[in-house]
Structure 1
Amino acid sequence: MYGDVDAVSDIPASACWRSLHESFPEAKIILTTRKNEEDWLQSWLAHVDAIHKSKMNFANLYFTPTGLKFLQFEKKSGELAFSSMPKSKYFDHDAEALKQAYRMHNIAVKQEIPRDKLLMFNLSDGWEPICEFLGKDVPGVPFPHSNKGAPVLDRHIAPMVFSRMNYELYCVVACLSILLSILLYLFIQVI
């Protein structure tokens, strides 16, 4: 699956790190960390909330083929990464269990990946550590922070997934409108 890929990030790859390491033992692993568990938890919950809080997203997720697939992906990824689906303030969640899953993940990666293949990296560290680890020159541009404090949905997910869901939802609404119009017309004709 990842044979022709140079790099992977985020879920589901981060949840499959063991099998990826076994398949690609020479690959370098960058474990992105946060200042503390609470910062990580707040970031995770903000990510989930950005997806689930709006009524339009609710309709997109539950009434379109792509939305239903996205929910399946989200559920499977959560099960893989956390043994259960992490929730947000819109759903029940156990903050301590999520922080423990984060902690255990980081401990396992640190224990199992050889030191020369692992970089513990905090995004606030900028280019230097990551470039040194990868044996690359430091670029002459600022380190990107496109997700810092920004809605994940607007910048990363919406262009790829939610625009398709919007189109599908418009199609569903149009088809239902036509169907209801036909039924109403037939009902009026019978009366």
Structure 2
Amino acid sequence: MSRSPEVDQIPSGDNGLVVANLRKRRISARRIGDFATVMECLRREIEISPDLLMPRVLLARNQARLVDGDESERALDFCLNAAVGSHQLDHGLIGALLLNVQQSPNIRLRSGRFEHLLEIIESASDATLSEPIRAVNRARVLLALRDRQRFLNAVNEFSATPISGRRHKSFANELEKVAQRWSDPSYPQHRISKIFVIGLSRTGTSSMDEALGLLGFSHLHWRNHLTGDLIRSADLFLFDAFSDIGIAADFETLAHQFPTSRFILTTRSIETWEISVRRHYRQQLGILKPDSLRRLAVARTFGGLMGEINASLYSKFETWGEAFESHHQRVDGFFSGERASRLLRFNVLAGASWAELCSFLGVPMPDVPYPHANPGQPESTVPLTKVSGKLDR
């Protein structure tokens, strides 16, 4: 099993014990969406051990989403420069830096930062990054750059080399599958059937993503985990199935672009959905109403794409119920008549399971329970998360 990205970044002595406890507290706070505590712990970790890079990278990421994008930009460049030749550089830190580059509002600087990250990977000593792991991470950055030939060359470098660590092997296997599709003479193919999950947040999209993986489909949920970016048009030709609000926001275009594709509307009752989604966004961003998304720094992230997605589905509405009804009306209106057979409405809380899904996709039912990811938590256990100042009302 591969090591945790932060395991080797805890200082020794009394400071190490303090940092370890802060890290435990931060991870617990992250699980319940208490981002004020997360950021407090990260700042204390940096104060105690200013040479540690991972807390700085994580703090910059949270600043970009919640508070100050400009400060996060400066912090990102500081971390990239500090990572050159650093003994802290490993698979986890590279992935964290890659995600921060993708999340940046400043899309003009993205390519240059990717090239800088490639230089950082090459500068690492063999003791810090073994050659196969170096090649795996080089391939991830080149995929993010959409540099086809250099990406294929990087995959060839590790494809015949034994790789240790479950996580490293998983990334290597997925990168090899992407390389096979990208090098196929028929690439790109619009006539190949894709699966698009177009339910809103908190309707079982994570469970559906896991289910599609169990059925053998290569799948992306919310982001491309290999590159750290939101799902982009280039990804649609490299994987089989896609889910979450980035897909839901533009399902009409996807239906025309891939005319043989199938669509799954994960759903639930509007009453239970409003409770769940309100809790989710209160945890994540400290807001209670969807139109508050327009005022947050998160709208600028991923080069502004996050704001476009939120605007399509949520931020133009005053209530979550209005957003729910509008999306379902869009889906119902589009998938009518001849298109109706391309859509499956799937409500796992009402008992939908493998039978409906596998019948719709024309695949055998697996001999495992249907997954239930992100089940949520009782309302009383969720803190009133404060991001900057007071909770949005």
TM-score by length of 1: 0.59
Q: 1:136-162, CA deviations, whole angstroms, 9 ceiling, x for partnerless residues?
A: 1111111111122259xxxxxxxxxxx
- 1:123 corresponds in structure 2 to 348
Q: Is the 8 A contact 1:33 1:120 kept in 2?
A: yes
Structure 1 residues 107 and 115: CA distance shift in structure 2, 3 A:
closer
Match for residue 8 of structure 1 among 236, 242, 262: 242
Q: Would you say the 8 A contact 2:278–2:320 is kept in 1? A: no
- Measure, in 2, the Cα distance between the counterparts of 1:150 and 1:134: 31
Unaligned runs of 5+ in 1: 55-60, 87-92, 152-191
TM superposition shift of 1:27: 0.6
Aligned counterpart, 2:272? 39
Query: Contact 1:41–1:98 (CA<8 Å) still a contact in 2?
Result: no
Match of 1:77 in 2: 309
| Shift in alpha-carbon separation, 1:122–1:113, aligned structure 2, 3 A | farther
Out of 134, 139, 143, the position equivalent to 2:370 is 143
Please give the per-residue CA displacement for 1:150-181, whole angstroms capped at 9, x wherever unaligned: 59xxxxxxxxxxxxxxxxxxxxxxxxxxxxxx
The alignment-based identity, stated in percent, is 28
Q: Distance in 1 between matches of 2:330 and 2:278?
A: 18
Q: Work out the CA distance in 1 between the residues paired with 2:330 and 2:272.
A: 16
Structure number with higher relative contact order (C-alpha < 8 Å, ≥ 6 residues apart): 1
1:37·1:102 contact (CA, 8 Å) conserved in 2?
A: no
| CA distance 1:29–1:7, change in 2 (3 Å) | same
In the alignment, what sits opposite 1:111?
336
Counterpart secondary structure, 1:141: coil
Q: Distance in 2 between matches of 1:42 and 1:102?
A: 17
Instruction: Tell me by how many angstroms 1:4 deviates.
Output: 1.8
Cα deviation, residue 17, structure 1: 0.4
Q: Which runs of 5+ in 2 are unaligned?
A: 1-232, 288-295, 379-393
RMSD: 3.0
CA shift digits 1:27-69 (9 cap, x unpaired): 11111121x2222222222221121139xxxxxx86xxx9952
Higher helix share: 1
Question: 2 CA distance for matches of 1:17 and 1:4?
Answer: 18
Q: 1:4 to 1:32 in 2, by over 3 A?
A: same
Which AA in structure 2 matches 1:130? L
Letter matched to residue 358 of structure 2: C
1:75 deviation in Å?
Answer: 2.4
Determine if contact 1:127/1:143 at 8 Å carries over to the other structure: yes
Picking from 252, 270, 273, the partner of 1:18 is 252
Aligned counterparts of 2:255 and 2:309: Cα–Cα separation in 1: 18
Which aligned pairs between 1:82-93 and structure 2 lie closer than 5 A? 82=314, 84=315, 93=318
Aligned length: 134
Match for residue 3 of structure 2?
none
Give the conservation status (yes or no) of the 8 Å contact 2:267–2:345: yes
Equivalent residue letter for 1:50? Q
Change (3 A) 1:12 1:95: closer
Q: Is the 8 A contact 1:31 1:120 kept in 2?
A: yes
Change (3 A) 1:42 1:110: farther
Distance in structure 1 (CA, Å) of the matches to 2:359 and 2:237: 25
Normalised to the residue count of structure 2, the TM-score between the two structures is: 0.30
Deviation at 1:73, TM superposition (A): 4.1
